[in-house]
Chain A
Amino acid sequence: MSAPPRLHVESGRVLLSGHWTLAAMLPDLTGLQAQLAPQRSVDVVWDLSALSRLDSAAAVLLWRTWGNAWPARLEISPLHRQVIERVAELPHEIAMPPALRIHPIEFIGSLLLKAGRNLQGMIVLFGQLLLDVAFLFKHPADIPWREFTANIYKSGAQALPVTALVGFLIGITISYLSALQLKSFGADIFIVNILGISIVRELGPVLVAVLVAGRSGSAMTAQIGVMRVTEEIDALSTMGISRTIRVVLPKIIGLTVAMPLIVLWASAVALLGGMLAAMLQLDLSFSYFIESLPRALPVANLFIGLGKGLVFGFVISLVACYFGLHVKPNTESLSSNTTSAVVTAITTVILADAVFAIFTRHIGVPQL
């Protein structure tokens, strides 16, 4: 289609012909550069009048060959001269900003400052939510019921299958592994205590929290983040609709309400899995298991588990909404904030779990 770029040297004249365009030069770029290089310092006549096309990539190539200056003798059409003039007008050295080097200590410091800012921002968001709740008490007509129920459905009801599956498998695993140990001590019946306490009090809430943080938390951050990127959040504000009341509050209250219910459901299914494994492994009948469960597991444990669910749900959704609201309008920030939201949510949940463990250490442990 296009004539390849040609270079012809004869008795002090360099004759260029053909299409000197990026596309035409690409197939043999190195060869062309090698051909041009020897002409660099020689005093020759550059004859470009036979050129049929010259684009800026080729102009840059020629200009570099000429050592950033017009050659003494040049024959060129005015149209092509214009193309090269554009290149000539560029400043030779355009200073690029030097790459910033960060000292490790500086890095740790900035990380801490960022964490501090995030904590502060979350407290501000929490305060805003309290104000919103107070506002809604005064104006009950503005309560976003529809968004609230939609969020319970999305982050609660739709999470039931996956939490059940994971809970069931974990129940089986713990029961099976404990049974192996207990059997060797002849303490088979303590399987009920182990399963009851560990699942209801600890594993159920934490397991569900991790799943929900990955599932609903990331979805919340991404949704609010995209709404920010596409300026939908701003559109809401201009219509006089509070973004916290309409977007953030329903998500947070929805998950806070839904989480204890998911925890209850997942713990129940996990106990079922444990019961099944205990029956297969230790010949412990279902009826014995169910009869001895209330004795082994004081009811306080159930409330601790549900309380944890409530707190974890609140933490996950608060963190997710906070990071969503702070997405900058670009794809990079969206992905990094979604990652931060999930990681922060899970870390905070584990931290809260430790706090729970310390403050409830005297409650609900059966005295033998």
Chain B
Amino acid sequence: MSQPVVELTGICTAFAGNFVHRDLNLRVEAGQIVGLLGGSGSGKTTLLREMLGLLRPTAGSVSLFGFNLNGSDALAQRAVRRRLGMLFQHGALFSALSVFDNIAFPLRELRCLDEDWIRRLVHLKLAMVEMEASHGKLMPAELSGGMVKRVALARALALEPELLLLDEPTSGLDPDRSQNFVDLVSGLQQALGLTVIMVTHDLNTLAGLASHVAVLADQRIIAFGPKDEVMSVDHPFVTGFFGADRRKLL
């Protein structure tokens, strides 16, 4: 097997003595689209933050592309971070910058693309997420919830990441848009061999997009594997989550 894109080993996370994760292991290979499931408060977002290096686990190690994020070399860390894109749950757009500048920001930070190139890329990303070019002038405060999400996705895609982390990508989108989102991500995945890890509660997104499913419960990953395998796992959370919709996923 080739090197895993994300490898979590023996992750323990504790907030003020309360364990959120205990000895958690997860290994995501290149090209997989992993849906991360779990009840609310089970530490899904925390796990994503640990993958990004925003939060240091109490114990255990996180490695991205075979590189340990807790290492100290700032330049190497930046190089790794440029290979991933993150869509935050609430968008986390820079509120002082317009939509155009938000998407252009990571591109400008590279300091080697000219403005024409950046302009085309930004408009390309805007078109990808079905925003009009004229929306580039708007400020984040003027956007609706769904638009914020789409702009945030465009920004996450700006650097053409190899690894895309999505926190609730389709919540707040209408069914039509979330279907388009599914098409967009799966198209990108085919063209670029993206690896995607997403936290979602939307069964349609999961059914349409995920190749693998990881279930976070009882402070660890209780099941990880191809969608249909995981669904047949006999665990109260899994049966409860899929419940009557079990057939829809297949």
Residues on A facing B (Cβ under 8 Å): 1, 21-23, 26, 29-30, 53-57, 60-61, 63-64, 79-80, 82-83, 86-87, 89-91, 94, 96-97, 328-332
What's the minimum C-beta distance from A27 to chain B, rounded to whole angstroms? 10
Give the distance to chain A from B212, nearest Cβ to Cβ, in Å. Answer: 22
B141:A328 contact, CB within 8 angstroms: yes
| B159: chain A residues within 8 A (beta carbon) | 22-23
Contacts A/B (CB < 8 Å), 24 sampled: A23-B160, A26-B110, A29-B113, A55-B192, A56-B124, A56-B125, A56-B160, A57-B117, A57-B160, A60-B121, A61-B117, A63-B120, A80-B191, A82-B187, A82-B191, A86-B124, A89-B127, A90-B120, A90-B123, A90-B127, A96-B119, A329-B95, A332-B95, A332-B96
Indicate the size class of the contact surface on chain B.
Answer: 20 to 34
Q: Is B83 an interface residue (CB 8 A)?
A: yes
| A contact residues around B160 at 8 Å (CB) | 21-23, 55-57
Prevailing SS type, chain A contact patch: helix
In the bound complex, what is the Cα–Cα distance between A21 and B157 (angstroms)? 13
Cβ-based interface call for B112 (8 A): yes
Bound: A14/B122 CA distance, A: 28
Flag whether B167 is at the interface (Cβ < 8 A): no
- Chain B residues with CB under 8 Å of A1's CB are 3, 65
| B-chain residues with CB within 8 Å of residue A87 when the two chains form the complex | 120, 124
Chain A CB within 10 A, most for which of B82, B96, B120, B191: B120
B76 CB–A CB distance under 8 Å? no
CB distance from B131 to the nearest CB of A (A): 13
Pick out which of these stretches binds chain A: B39-47, B132-140, B229-237.
B132-140
Q: How far is the CB of A61 from chain B (nearest CB, A)?
A: 7
Number of A-B contacts (CB under 8 A): 76
Complex-state Cα separation, A60 to B123, whole angstroms: 11
Q: Which residues of A contact B112 (CB under 8 A)?
A: 26, 29-30
Q: State in angstroms the CA–CA spacing of A168 and B124 once bound together.
A: 63
B120 contact set on A, CB distance < 8 A: 60, 63-64, 87, 90
For A22, the chain B residues whose CB sits under 8 A away are 110, 159-160
> B18 interface residue, CB < 8 Å from A?
no
Residue of B nearest to A21 (CB): B160
CB distance from B140 to the nearest CB of A (A): 7
Distance of B98 from chain A, by nearest CB (Å): 10
Question: Is B141 touching A329 in the complex (CB atoms < 8 A)?
Answer: yes
| B121: A residues at CB distance < 8 A | 56-57, 60
| Interface residue? B190 (CB, 8 A) | yes
Q: Are B95 and A23 in touch, CB under 8 angstroms?
A: no
B221 on interface, CB distance cutoff 8 Å: no
User: Contact at B141–A23, with CB atoms within 8 Å?
Assistant: no
Chain B 135-178 interface residues, beta-carbon cutoff 8 Å to A: 137, 139-141, 159-160, 162
Interface residue? B208 (CB, 8 A): no
Q: Is the CB of B191 within 8 A of A83?
A: yes
**With A and B bound together, what is the CA distance between A126 and B240 in angstroms?**
57
Establish whether residues A330 and B139, one from each chain, have CB atoms under 8 Å apart when the complex forms.
Answer: yes
CB of B193 within 8 A of chain A?
yes
Is residue B128 within 8 Å, beta carbon to beta carbon, of the partner chain?
Answer: yes
Closest A-chain residue to B190, C-beta based?
A79
Q: Which residues of B contact A90 (CB under 8 A)?
A: 120, 123-124, 127
Min Cβ gap A11→B in Å is: 30
Bound-state CA distance A163–B80 (Å) is 50
Chain B residues with CB under 8 Å of A29's CB are 112-113
Question: Could you say which residues of chain A place their CB within 8 Å of the CB of B95?
Answer: 329-332
Q: Is the CB of A23 within 8 A of B124?
A: no
**Nearest CB of chain A from residue B196's CB, rounded to whole Å:** 15
Report the bound CA distance from A329 to B90 in whole Å. Answer: 14
User: A86–B127 contact, CB under 8 A?
Assistant: yes
Q: Contacts of A94 on B, CB cut-off 8 Å?
A: 119, 123, 133
Q: How far is the CA of A213 from the CA of B23 in the complex (A)?
A: 52
Assuming the contacts A22-B160, A329-B95, A332-B96, asked whether A54 and B124 have C-beta atoms less than 8 A apart, the reply is: no
Enumerate chain B residues within 8 angstroms of A328, measured Cβ to Cβ.
141
CA distance A87 to B141 in the complex (A): 29
Q: Which residue of B lies closest to A29 (CB)?
A: B112
Q: Closest approach, in angstroms, between the C-beta of A82 and any C-beta of chain B?
A: 7
A331 to B141, CA, bound (A): 10
Q: B127 touching A53 by the CB < 8 A rule?
A: no
Q: Which residues of A contact B83 (CB under 8 A)?
A: 23
Report how far A332 CA is from B140 CA in the complex, Å.
12
B139 touches A53 (CB 8 A): no
Task: Give the Cβ gap from A12 to chain B, nearest Cβ, in Å.
Answer: 28
Closest residue of chain B to A55, judged by CB? B160
Shortest CB-to-CB span from A193 to chain B, Å, is 53
Minimum C-beta distance from B67 to chain A (A): 10
Cβ–Cβ < 8 Å partners of B139 in chain A: 330
Q: A60-B117, A94-B119 are in contact. Are A86 and B191 (CB under 8 A)?
A: no
In the complex, given contacts A60-B124, A332-B95, what are 10 additional A-B residue pairs having Cβ atoms less than 8 angstroms apart?
A21-B160, A22-B110, A26-B112, A55-B192, A57-B160, A82-B191, A86-B127, A87-B124, A90-B120, A90-B123
